[in-house]
Each structure stands twice: as structure tokens, then as C-alpha cells.
Amino acid sequence: MICHLKIHFLKLFIFFILSFSTFYCIAQDFDLPTTDTIKTKIRLYKKNPFITKPPLFFLKKSPINQRILKVKINYWRTQTTVAINVNQAAFSDNWSGGGVNSLALGGQFLYKAEYNKQNINYITQIDLIYGKLKNRGQLERKSNDRIFIDNKAALQISKYWYFFGSLSFESQFDLGYNYGKDVAGNEVRTTISNFMAPGYVTESVGFEYKPVSYFNLRLGTGTARQTFVLDTTLYKNNPKNFGVPIGKRFRNELAFQVVANFDKDIAKNVNLKSRYLIFAAYEKLKNIDQRLDITLTAKVNKFINVMINGIALYDDDFSNTLQTSQALSLGVVYNLP
């Protein structure tokens, strides 16, 4: 009996040892979730029973071809715009509302290049504008005519201030006329201007204030302007002869000059550009020449825009009153890449 109990007890002990070993193996082979991960979706994974070593990395020096490192940096930023405007109107002879057949053609070429490197800045700008208007029964007239070239080099001396030197040229392409009628009622015209009559060359040095990219103010403390009138017969129709003594073709003036430029997109597809010039000649400070140019451009699509130009000019070498000009045009515009 006792032997029988011993055998039975031995069987239970072996069963207990085997059960404990199985449970221990399961606990070692699997990671059980902790209380911190109860609310998350847990996927049990089996550990790799084999011991692995981290991979070994070997670094090897290889020569790099120098041609790969030759990077060219372009410090120039250019913008070129070509525009053509055409306006035309035609009426039959019996048109009840009345009207005059007309044709107007205008063109504009704008080029601007800017160089920036460290504290050096250089800008060149070319504006070429010309337009003609022809009404039935009248002589043709100019609607626009301007040649303007401006070059400026500047050296930055502080955060917003530069020391600059500039050279600019301004004239026109074609003859300019005054229109009237003779005793018979026929239209006649007299020449009052021409290419290089007048023509202006201006040299200026001074300081430039540029707080933002779209606005700058030039203070030309040392400025000289040469006025050219190569057509010596214009004084007959223009007694002031643009300030050049009659019989001469050249006049030099020393002055203080202020130029303010503004160029910014004030709304989506709408750009406002303006230039205000003050030229105060030291020999006649009571009569200061001033000119304001404003251009508002609205872009309709990639190739068509609407442009409004306005000019206000006071120059006592031509007239003692304010001169104004305004033009509205719709045309095709192409920006060269």
C-alpha cells in the first residue's frame, strides 16, 4: 500500500515539473502586453532565437571629379517685355451717330537687368515707346514717343543706404508738331521737336535709400545735365528752345536731383509703377523741373493686358504751365524668358 502511494506521489511530482517547465518556456518565447498597452492593438511576435551581430560598415575614400563641384551662380536678373497695341474704328458715310474713321498703332519695349552680389548692385533699364494715330481727314499724330535709358551702380554702406552713380539718356524717335489751320481752313502743322531736340544726358552721384525691394529714393547731391538741341531751326516755332541759347546746340546745368521709384503688384495681376523726378538747377532754384510717370497694368491673361499711362511734367524751358498726358491701351504683351 505504501509503495503504491509513493508511486502515485512520484507521478504527480513529475507532472507538476513538466507543467511548470512548459509554462516557463511559453513565458520566455512570447512578450505579454503590459497594463500601459491594454487599450492599444498589440500584435505578439516571436523573438528570433538566434543571436545576430550588427552589420559591419567599411568606409572607403573615393576621389570626386572636380567638374562636378564647378557650380555657376548667375547674379543677373533680367526682364524683357514687348507690347503691341492696335485701335481701329470705321463708320459708313451714312452712320446716324456720326464718327470718324481712325487707326492707332503703338508699340512698347521694356528691358531691365539687375546685378546683385554681396554689397554691389547694378541696374540698367531701357524704355522705348512709340505710337501713331490717324483720323480720317486729319494729319497723322503721335500718341506716344519716348526713348529712356538709365544705368545705376551702387555700393551698399549700411542696411538701407547705398552710395550710387548713375548715367541716363532721354529723347524721342520722331518729329513733334503743333497743329492748326490756315486761312483756307486746311490743317497745317509746325515742327516743335525732333530726335535729340531736345535730348538729355544726366550724370549723378549721391546716396540711395532702399528700405524694401519695390521702392528706392535717390538723392543726387552732385548732378550734371546736358541738354542737346541739334536742330537749330526749332527756335522759330519754339522761342524758348528748351533752354539752349539760340544758335547753340548744347547747354550744361549743375543741380540737385531727387528720383523716387515705386514698382509693386498692388493686387493679383495688377502692377503699379511710378517714377518721380525733381531737378533743381543751382542757377534757377525758383523754377524746379518736375516729372511724374505712372503706369498701371492689369493682366487679363498670359498675352493680353490693359495699360494706363499718365505723365505730369513741369519744365519752364518749354512751358510755364503744367503739361499732362494720358493714354489707355489694350494690347498683346509677351514677356521674354
Q: What is the CATH number of the domain that holds 123?
A: 2.40.230
19 in the same domain as 125: no
Domain interval for residue 13: 2-37
29 in the same domain as 167: no
What the block records as the C-alpha cell of 303 is 498675352
Instruction: Answer yes or no: are the C-beta atoms of 280 and 268 closer than 8 Å.
Output: no
What local confidence, expressed as pLDDT, does residue 265 receive? 94
Tell whether 48 is covered by a domain: no
Quick one: which of 268, 253, 266, 166 has its CA closest to 208?
166
pTM: 0.76
Tell whether 222 is covered by a domain: yes
Taking the C-alpha atoms of residue 295 and residue 308, their distance in angstroms, rounded to an integer, is 6
Tell whether 54 is covered by a domain: no
77 in the same domain as 32: no
Tens-digit pLDDT string for the chain (337 aa): 545 555 555 665 565 565 555 544 444 444 444 444 444 444 544 555 555 556 666 677 777 666 656 678 889 999 999 999 888 888 887 777 777 888 889 999 999 999 999 999 999 999 999 999 998 888 899 989 999 999 999 999 999 999 999 999 999 999 999 999 888 888 999 999 999 999 999 999 999 999 999 999 999 999 999 999 999 999 998 889 999 999 899 999 999 999 999 999 999 999 999 999 999 999 888 889 999 999 999 998 888 999 898 999 999 988 889 999 988 888 898 888 7
Tell whether 270 is covered by a domain: yes
154 in the same domain as 14: no
What local confidence, expressed as pLDDT, does residue 155 receive? 97
Quick one: which of 206, 213, 197 has its CA closest to 278?
206
Tally of domains in the chain: 2
Tell whether 50 is covered by a domain: no
169 in the same domain as 127: yes
Tell whether 31 is covered by a domain: yes
Rg of the Cα trace of the chain?
41
Taking the C-alpha atoms of residue 111 and residue 249, their distance in angstroms, rounded to an integer, is 30
277 in the same domain as 159: yes
Helices vs. strands in the chain: H and E counts, helices first: 1, 14
Instruction: Answer yes or no: are the C-beta atoms of 177 and 190 closer than 8 Å.
Output: yes
79 in the same domain as 7: no
